[in-house]
């Protein structure tokens, strides 16, 4: 689903804007770049959503809580730092970078959790 949503944002940014708001020339000029960058985050977001549900289902509740908190801290930090380097577009890239970093960490946690011995072992 993340890939599908990302493709929609990449291919149809103006159509999305028309769907959600009354557009004016300023929005038409700015929206395609913003939507395309922001929608890249959906590729990574699915990994996080799936994994936190997985961890909760196998009763490893501390791990998704840790990942969610870390995601919020990283996002908050990047929202302040990236605009200093990238200007206004840094705000949009912060979301993508946060989701990518979270996805990498989440995949590492999934791999780690599959090696943790269970009480049945």
- Which whole number is the average pLDDT over 94-114? 90
Q: Determine the Cα–Cα distance for residues 16 and 99; give it in Å rounded to an integer.
A: 21
What dihedral angle (degrees, nearest 10) is formed by the CA atoms of 12, 17, 73, 1?
-40
Which pLDDT belongs to residue 83? Answer: 85
Overall average pLDDT of the 1-24 stretch: 89
Q: Are 109 and 64 in contact (CB under 8 A)?
A: no
Q: What is the mean pLDDT of residues 111-119?
A: 74
pLDDT in tens, 44-76: 998 989 998 999 888 888 888 989 898 888 777
Domain ranges of the chain: 2-113
**Is residue 41 very low, low, confident or very high in pLDDT (cuts 50, 70, 90)?**
very high
């Amino acid at each position: 689903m993340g890939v599908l949503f990302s493709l929609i944002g990449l291919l149809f940014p103006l159509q999305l804007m028309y769907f959600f708001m009354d557009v004016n020339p300023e929005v038409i000029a700015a929206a395609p770049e913003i939507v395309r960058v922001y929608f890249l985050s959906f590729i990574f977001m699915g990994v996080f959503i799936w994994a936190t549900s997985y961890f909760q289902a196998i009763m490893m509740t501390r791990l998704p809580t840790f990942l969610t908190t870390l995601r919020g801290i990283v996002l908050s930090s990047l929202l302040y730092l990236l605009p200093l380097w990238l200007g206004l577009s840094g705000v949009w890239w912060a979301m993508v970078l946060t989701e990518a970093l979270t996805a990498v960490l989440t995949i590492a946690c999934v791999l780690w959790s599959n090696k943790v011995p269970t009480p049945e072992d």
